[in-house]
Amino acid sequence: MDRLLFLFATGLARGAIFALFALSLVLIWRAARIVNFAQGAMALVATYAAFAVTGVTGSYWAGLAAGLVAGAAIGLGVERGLMRFTPHSSPLSGVIVAIGLVMVLQSLLGILFGAQYRPMRAPFDDSPIMVGGVPLLSPYDLFVLGVALAVMAVLALLFTRTSLGLQLRASAFAPEVSRVLGVRVGRMVTIGWMLSAAVAALAAMLLVPTELGLNPHATDMLFVYAFAVAVVGGLDSPVGALLGGLVVGLAMTLVTGYLGATVAPIGVLVLLVGVLLVRPGGIFSLREARSA
């Protein structure tokens, strides 16, 4: 029972990271109708930037801020320099270009920094706090949960309470009408990409200290989990991403805890196929897309 409680608490913290990353996929999907398969690699570049800044300044917080800025800059660069020129004749071209980008970024990181794991430290204790004799969350887990919830709250405020948020939503749902009404749709798409890439970078920076360390493939599994989250929650729905993140985080922590880490990818596969067979649009999707 203690173990279940511990896994449950850890699962919440990991689920928050998955939810954050999935939220970044949802942001791009809503802004540009692309599932960005390069999101993991882009976040990884930002994490390497954060790692370098932390190494130079010695401050975790400076690194975190630099990672966020780097993430937004990469989002800007990828959207303006690459995705804008991707042919829209088929939805596959965006995916294929993103895969090319993954290959370029990961191999560049491998050439520049080598394949070894570089441990990343956070200024928090990662041994769990005992509550009534039961080990629960560590201070770092609490920090992760707090940051994730704060970011989600800020994004929710941004999208529902500000003029920029209204323009972002308008240009995502009805680009033509928005353009006629004076919204600069192209700029909104770019802002969507920057926001999304910064959120993904944050998720990667929160995840890496809990894992083996920084490596050119450190975010591969994060992307797979987050994709599963986004699918479970529906790519259209930010609330779905949050709930899906918690579901997938808990499920994966339980699978890893009871069956071993090697089984985790099979667990994701089963979850994905199961959800997609029952509800192809995701469990929390807003509406069924009609085709005929």
Partner 1 sequence: MSRLLPSLRGIPRTIVLGAVLTVFAIGATFLLDPYRNFQLATVAAYFCATAGLTLLIGRSGQLSLGHAALMAAGGYGYALTANAMTDAGVTGIPRFLAGMLAAVVVSAALGWLLGLAAARLRGPYLAGVTLTLVIAVPAVASVFSGVLRGDQGVQIAYDGVPPVLERLIAVEQWQAWVAILVAGVVVTALAVFARGPVGLRMRAVRDDETAARLNGVRSGRVKVTAFTVSSVAAGAGGAVLCFATQSVSPGAYTLAFSLLLVVAVVLGGLGSIGGAALGSALIVLLPWLLAAGTAALPLPVELAQRLSGNLSILVFGVLLIGVMLVRPGGLVSLRRRRPSRSSGTATAAAPAEQPATTASPPAAAAAGARHP
* Shortest distance in whole angstroms from residue 268 CB to partner 1: 6
* Site membership for partner 1, residue 291 (CB under 8 A): yes
Strands of 41-180, DSSP E: 130-131, 134-135
Tally of residues, the chain: 292
> From the list 65, 99, 154, 181, which residue makes contact with partner 1 (rule: CB under 8 A)?
99
* Site membership for partner 1, residue 212 (CB under 8 A): no
How many residues touch partner 1 under the rule CB under 8 A: the total is: 49
Q: Hey, is 131 helix, strand or coil?
A: strand
Name the residue nearer to partner 1 (CB basis): 90 or 127.
90
Q: Could you tell me where the DSSP H helices lie in 114-237?
A: 139-161, 163-173, 175-180, 185-207, 220-233
Cα 230 to Cα 22: distance, rounded to the nearest angstrom: 5
* Site membership for partner 1, residue 288 (CB under 8 A): no
Q: 251-265 burial string, b = 16+ CB within 10 Å, else e?
A: bbbbbbbeeeeeebe
* Site membership for partner 1, residue 95 (CB under 8 A): yes
For the chain, give the longest Cα–Cα distance: 62
Name the residue nearer to partner 1 (CB basis): 174 or 272.
272
> From the list 4, 56, 65, 103, which residue makes contact with partner 1 (rule: CB under 8 A)?
103
Which helix (H) or strand (E) element contains residue 19? Answer: helix 2-32
Start-to-end Cα distance in the chain = 50
Residue span 67-86 as binding mask against partner 1, x where in contact by CB under 8 A, dash where not: ---------------x--xx
Residue type, position 175, single letter: P
Name the residue nearer to partner 1 (CB basis): 58 or 85.
85
Structure tokens that stand for 146 in this block = 């707090």
* Site membership for partner 1, residue 248 (CB under 8 A): no
* Shortest distance in whole angstroms from residue 280 CB to partner 1: 5
Name the residue nearer to partner 1 (CB basis): 146 or 280.
280
- List the one residue out of 284, 80, 104, 71 whose CA is nearest residue 196: 71
Binding site for partner 1 (CB under 8 A): 34-35, 37, 82, 85-87, 89-93, 95-97, 99-104, 106-108, 110-112, 114-115, 220-221, 224, 227-228, 231, 262-266, 268-269, 272-273, 276-277, 280, 291-292
